[in-house]
Amino acid sequence: MKIKTLIKMANSIGDFFNAESDKELAANGVKKHILRSWHPRMRKELIAYYEQDGSELSDLVKVAVSGLESV
């Protein structure tokens, strides 16, 4: 998958949950959404990107992705 597509998708999910002032809750919302709707290979590629670079991910998404594997 094109990583740019995955980054865009993840950041747009982050944009929705960013309205939540409790950022832990917001990050959990992003994480749960990705976990429940993304094919595992897409998650794996996003996690790999986050671990290698991650610069294009929003701060909220970074927090969410950092917790993805442990779920």
Partner 1 sequence: MSINKQQDFGTPASTATEQVTLEIDGFKVTAPAGTSIMRAAASIGIDIPKLCATDSIEPFGSCRLCVVQIEGGRGMPASCTTPVAEGLKVSTQNQKLAEVRRGVMELYISDHPLDCLTCSANGDCELQDMAGAVGLREVRYNPVETHLHAVKDESNPYFSFDPSKCIVCSRCVRACEETQGTFALTIDGRGFDSKVSPSQNEAFMDSECVSCGACVQACPTATLMEKSVIDHGQPEHAIVTTCAYCGVGCSFRAEMKGEQVIRMVPNKDGKANHGHSCVKGRFAFGYATHKDRITKPMIRASIKDAWQEVSWEEAINHAASELKRIQAKYGKDSIGGITSSRCTNEEVYIMQKLIRAGFGNNNVDTCARVCHSPTGYGLKQTFGESSGTQDFDSVMKADVILVMGANPTDGHPVFGSMMKKRLRQGAKLIVIDPREIDLVEKSPHIQADYHLKLRPGTNVALISALAHVIVTEQLIDENFVNERCDVASFDKWKTFIAQEQYSPEATTDITGVPAEQIRAAARLYATAGNAAIYYGLGVTEHSQGSTTVIGIANLAMATGNLGRDGVGVNPLRGQNNVQGSCDMGSFPHEFPGYRHVSDEQTHRLFEDAWQAELSWEPGLRIPNMFDAAMDKSFMGLYCEGEDIAQSDPDIQHVHAALRAMECVIVQDIFLNETAKFAHVFLPGASFLEKDGTFTNAERRISPVRKVMSPLAGYQDWEVTQMLANAMEYPMNYSHPSEIMAEIASLTPSFAGVSYEKIDQLGSIQWPCYDQASVGTPIMHEETFMRDNGKGLFMLTEYVATEERVTKMFPLILTTGRILSQYNVGAQTRRTENNAWHSEDLLEIHSHDAEDRGLKTGDWVGIKSRVGETVLRALITDRVQPGVVYTTFHFPESGANVITTDNSDWATNCPEYKVTAVQVSKVSQTSEWQEQYQVFSDNQLELLAQGSQHD
Q: Is the CB of 22 or the CB of 55 nearer to partner 1?
A: 22
Q: Is the CB of 40 or the CB of 52 nearer to partner 1?
A: 40
CB 33 within 8 A of CB 60: no
Positions that interact with partner 1 (CB under 8 A): 1-2, 5, 9, 12-13, 15-16, 18-20, 33, 36-42
DSSP label at residue 21: S
Shortest approach of partner 1 to residue 35 CB, angstroms? 8
Helices (H), 1-71: 3-17, 23-37, 40-52, 59-66
